[in-house]
Amino acid sequence: MTSSPALNPAVTDWNGPDGLPRFEAVSDGDFAPAFDAALVEHEAEIDAIAANAEAPTFANTIVALEIAGDRLSRVSALFWNRAGAHTNDAIQALERDIAPKMSRHYSKIGMNAALFARIDALWEGRETLGLDLEATRVLERHWKGFVKSGAKLPKAEQERLAAINETLASLGAKFGQNVLADEKSWALLLDNEDLAGVPQFLKDSMAAAARDRGEEGKYAVTLSRSIIEPFLTFSERRDLREQAFKAWVARGANGGETDNRAIIRETLALRAEKATLLGYQNYAALKLDDTMAKTPEAVNELLTQVWEKAVVRARQEEAELAELIAREGRNHPVMPWDWRHYAEKLRARKFNFSESELKPYLQLEKIIDACFDVAQRLFGITATEKKGVKGYHPDVRVFDIRDPDGKLVALFLGDYFARASKRSGAWMSSFQSQHRLTLKNGAKGELPIIYNVCNFAKPADGKPALLSLDDARTLFHEFGHALHGMLSNVTYPSVSGTSVARDFVELPSQLYEHWLTVPAILKRYAVHEATGEPMPQDLLDKVLSARTFNAGFNTVEFTSSALVDMAFHTRAAVEDPMAVQSEVLEKIGMPASIVMRHATPHFQHVFSGDGYSAGYYSYMWSEVLDADAFAAFEETGDAFDADVAGKLKDNIYSVGGAIDPEDAYRAFRGKLPSPEAMLRKKGLAA
């Protein structure tokens, strides 16, 4: 008889400063036994709730479900953080095992007939329970969640649904790992003579990337967005731009073990079958059932309206780039590896500034400070770095977040630099969400522990990290998500922070981006990395006047991806996903000079898990909201108006999913918006 592996208490009993996990005390080998024990414990808790001999009440059923699985939540939070932000072969192998195991676990809960009978009885009698609005929303979420998990299906169909969910979990994990593998395995190593046009800040980043690969004295173009995009922007070597671009867009479609095309086909087939089992016309209808958009038709109406304006603008932009190419004495058409390069030259000509001129004024440290300053001005909270407190990687920084009275209200972790062990992109997540329930260990509520992950190029030793304007927006965007988690003020964990409708969750993040370019913020924090001098007024004016430059390109990139996502998930069957992608792009008139922001084989939002499947549109849906929301400040003449900021905090940032998102927005703004403010912001309005 073999004994079970010893459990490391540090995985689930967090006793670091202010309840932070002691990351350094958890090894990769600790996760498997911790998961096994936590799954058994959670299953026992669920069984006890279902078998309770007392009649169902909100307290003994819904509240009991809300606080069950605390240890599972903790091991999961640590593990998925490591899998995304600092992975390795051992973690990836465990991820492939854990993803289907977790799916099986939650499928079993969702199909627990005795448990659903209790929830269903409460739902049917909800008018007699005396519940407040938040509690009613929590009950509704649990009931709908069980129905969508197959609680009302016959046994055979429940079993099929569970098998589908398990397979989808495995496919999603493999999809993301394949993209990461393609990103890690490719680098274009260059010598100094290959760097025509490349500015010093990018040379430094490329040299550091080469050193990381053991190539001292070389310069590496990698598939990290913080290197590939500026290389495509500045390099004068068209042959090298083409080589790098083709590798970038080929992620997930290179043949062999990391090719994602078969995974996509199987994923779409299983999603369509799942929707049919649950009684929906298609998978998009299933996913949109509990969103602001409500229907695929509403989504496609918005996307089409924006597309028609964006593609006209993009054609105009393309003509200007073609003229610039001809002036250089070249006779090639505008290709996707040319667009960023010539758009940068056109911007320099039109507005008399370039990205390389702007970048010395956008130091990472100063932009972080700017994020914190905006939060203090709007919401009264302050951030103080906890020096010497260890995060999950040496680059990670930990901050106290305190309210105006000095009370600790959250912990925030910032993880800003790209590395080979981190998946690409940027995201916010949490180790712990805010709530006020009493847990089984006697703790009354929990402090939110929120983190942001970015992939900025790490500077050479002794040099500041410099950001592009897009990088700076990304940092503000993710901190907007973080604020949504940190300012949460709800009773129940399931509606805390970002636990809102998918097409509402981007509102707090996209809205926060607006404050980056508020003149008072740029003047204070956009200071030169060498001299400390603020950005000159004329350069600031140029930056602000260029805000809608290249809007056609940017909107076409995004909207084409969203339209392809909707096409995949509104069809009964997709035999050849790549053929569908081509068909959609041809139908809408996709310019040959632009590609989708996320081509299907590396469209992680949609296929590396379920998060944004039939939901990539939500960035634009939220953009309609954020443009209108910032207009509330503009109408006062003060970007930090205290009354508007108070309404924003009380009705958007702090309520989570405790009230319906339409009601939340109306409470803040007094009305729902139309797309016009968003189109004006993009410069696409007539």
Domain borders along the chain are: 9-110+112-152, 186-249, 288-359+549-682, 362-514
Q: Exactly one of 355, 478, 513, 557 is catalytic; name it.
A: 478
- 536: helix, coil or strand? coil
- 430: helix, coil or strand? strand
Report pLDDT for 356: 86
Identify whether 478 is a catalytic site residue. Answer: yes
Would you say the CATH fold of 362-514 matches that of 288-359+549-682?
Answer: yes
Report pLDDT for 4: 59
Report pLDDT for 686: 65
Handedness of CA 431, 7, 103, 610 (dihedral sign): positive
- What one-letter code names the amino acid at 359? K
Backbone angles phi, psi at 372, to 5 degrees: -65, -40
309-319 residue pLDDT tens:
999 999 999 99
Report pLDDT for 114: 97
Residues 128/213, Cβ–Cβ less than 8 Å: no
CA angle 511, 514, 519 (to 5 degrees): 155
C-alpha–C-alpha distance, residues 439 and 430, integer Å: 18
Q: H helices then E strands: how many in the chain?
A: 27, 9
**How many angstroms from the chain centroid is the CA of residue 62?**
29
DSSP-derived letter for residue 388 is: T
C-alpha–C-alpha distance, residues 223 and 558, integer Å: 19
Extract the residue ranges of the chain whose pLDDT is less than 50.
1-3
| Homologous superfamily of domain range 288-359+549-682 | Neurolysin, domain 3 (1.10.1370.10)
Query: For residue 446, what is the enclosing H or E element?
Result: strand 444-446
230-259 exposure pattern, b = at least 16 Cβ within 10 A, e = fewer = bbbbbbebeebbeebbebbbbbbbbeeebb
Q: How many CA atoms lie within 13 A of 622 on its CB side?
A: 25
CATH 1.10.1370.40 is held by the domain 362-514: yes
Tell me the whole-structure pTM to 2 decimals.
0.93
List the structure tokens of 392. Answer: 């999950």
Query: For residue 427, what is the enclosing H or E element?
Result: strand 427-432
Identify the CATH number of the domain defined by range 9-110+112-152.
1.20.1050.40
